[in-house]
Amino acid sequence: MELVRARSGPVSKSTVTGGTATSWAGVAAGHPFGIHTLPYGVFTDAAREQPRVGVAVGDAILDLTAAAAALLPEHFALFGSGSLDAFLAAGRRTWTAVRAALTEWLTEGRYANVLSPLLVPAAVATMRLPFTVADYVDFYSCEQHATNVGQILRPDQPALPVNWRHLPAGYHGRAGTVVVSGTPICRPPGQRRLPDGTVIFAPSSALDFEAEVGFVVGTPSVSGRPVPLTGFADHVFGICLINDWSARDIQAWEYLPLGPFLGKSFATSISPWVLPLDALASARVPPPPRDPRPLPYLDDTRTEPWGLDITLEVRLNDHLVSRPPFAGMYWTPAQQLAHLTSNGACLRTGDLLGSGTVSGSAPDQWGSLLELSRNGSSPLTFTDGATRSFLADGDEISITGTAPGPAGSIIGLGEVRGQVHALVNA
């Protein structure tokens, strides 16, 4: 595998290309945060103690809170609170209008004098949780992952449950423990059952990551009115990266009969940048064929489906361990949203939908250590001689993502990173 890195550098004022369009803001050619990406986040720095809304441009962040005050006063209220919440709630027409304004500001040289002072080097900024997470739902929509897990944990049973190809399975997670990239992850304690049948309460010895893509709801929906497949882009603002930290030993003991609980709820990390759906127009691909044909509310054969050609990369202590391909996901995010609301449950601004672990068909495309180490029976061995079945204290997991953009450009999702810390007083 080839190591691909995007690292911060000095903010240049030279005009170079970032895809097809050029920006006076100095975006290096091929930069994943080029002029076609423009993700939104929330940041502080030494000069800005109050959180600001920012837009990533190359290795810099445009202070959108200040830029809107100068150039977009009619929308300043959306960016004045140090959160994306108001902007998310504003709806698709506003999302499109603001993105169009950003593109104009950053590509037309007449805005350089006003906006240059509002560009902050990303290296000196601290990224914050970008929005208030309302509800968090995590799906299980990758057939390869579900098959791998079934084969590893239930080898005497069919790999997929009988309902799996009929509906996007999911569970309600814990919104209050969603944290931004860089937040330390404390090894969770919990109940588990030892091979001899003894039940103990102890720090997890099988801490894992799950590489996922998240979908962020902007526009709420009305109770009792399901959101159809065609309503996806009206309600979902954009996407982020997710690491759904998982304690496999706690999970294995507690999950029957009601599913994931404390083995998942201790922490979920998300990337600081939320990429608007508008940036993914060139990444849409047909999803895999579905058999049996889904029920009408999930049947996307007569709509433009929401398969997305996103490639993730997972690194454990800077060793590249997996490149999961999102394009192969069996259920699309539009189908997940349609299913989530099919019983009349309404959406709230800030709802976060996790795709489920993304795994491809090859072993170097699997999105969890449970799969990569075959539940510990085949530990990973690194070039420095270290081995891992599950995560050790001090281990750091990084998940990055990219998608194709217009005219050969690259659309970056940034990174979600987290380091495992020992349980204090364990």
For binding to Ca ion (CB under 5 A), which residues are involved? 138, 210, 244
Q: Could you identify the residue written with the tokens 């986040």? A: 41
Is the omega angle on the peptide bond into residue 161 within 30 degrees of 0, that is, cis?
Answer: no
Min separation Cβ 150 and Ca ion, Å: 15
Toward Ca ion, which CB reaches closer, 311 or 359? 359
Q: Which single residue is written with the structure tokens 């507690």?
A: 254
> Residue 379: left (phi > 0), alpha (psi -120 to 50), or beta?
beta
To Ca ion, the closest distance from the beta carbon of 244 in angstroms equals 4
Q: Two tokens at 167?
A: 């509906």
Least CB distance from residue 210 to Ca ion, whole Å? Answer: 4
- Shortest Cβ distance from residue 108 to Ca ion (Å)? 43
Question: Which residue, 64 or 180, has its beta carbon nearer to Ca ion?
Answer: 180
3-class DSSP state for residue 334? helix
Nearest CB to Ca ion, comparing residues 75 and 248: 248
Alpha-helical segments (H) within 41-182: 64-71, 85-90, 92-107, 112-115, 143-153
Measured over all CA atoms, what is the biggest interatomic distance in the chain, rounded to whole angstroms?
72
User: Please, what is the Cα angle at 228 between 226 and 233, to 5 degrees?
Assistant: 115
| Closer residue to Ca ion (CB): 58 or 263 | 263
Q: How far apart are CA 124 and CA 214, in angstroms?
A: 26
Helix (H) and strand (E) counts in the chain? 10, 28
Comparing CB distances to Ca ion, the nearer of 259 and 406 is: 259
In this structure, are residues 405 and 284 in contact, taking their beta carbons and an 8 Å threshold? Answer: no
**Peptide bond preceding 363: is omega within 30 degrees of 0, i.e. cis?**
no
| Shortest distance (Å) from residue 124 CB to Ca ion | 33
Per the listing, tokens 């006076």 go with 24
Q: Which is nearer to Ca ion, 83 or 335 (CB)?
A: 335
- 118/207 with CB nearer Ca ion: 207
Between 337 and 411, whose beta carbon lies closer to Ca ion? 337
Q: What positions carry a catalytic annotation?
A: 145
Token representation of residue 187: 């090894």
CB of 38 to Ca ion, least distance (A): 28
Query: What residues pair up with 186 in beta bridges, in sequence order?
Result: 421
The closest of 366, 289, 294, 277 to 336, measured between CA atoms, is 294
Exposure letters 384-423 (e unless 16+ CB within 10 A, then b):
eeeebbbbeeebebbbbbbbbbeeebbbbbbbbbbbbeee
DSSP 303: S
Torsion sign across C-alpha atoms 107, 113, 114, 120: positive
Residue nearest to Ca ion (CB): 244
Reported as half-sphere exposure (CB side, CA atoms, 13 A), residue 116 has a value of 14
Nearer to Ca ion, 62 or 217 (CB): 217
Burial of 290 (0-12, 13-18, 19+ CB in 10 A): middle
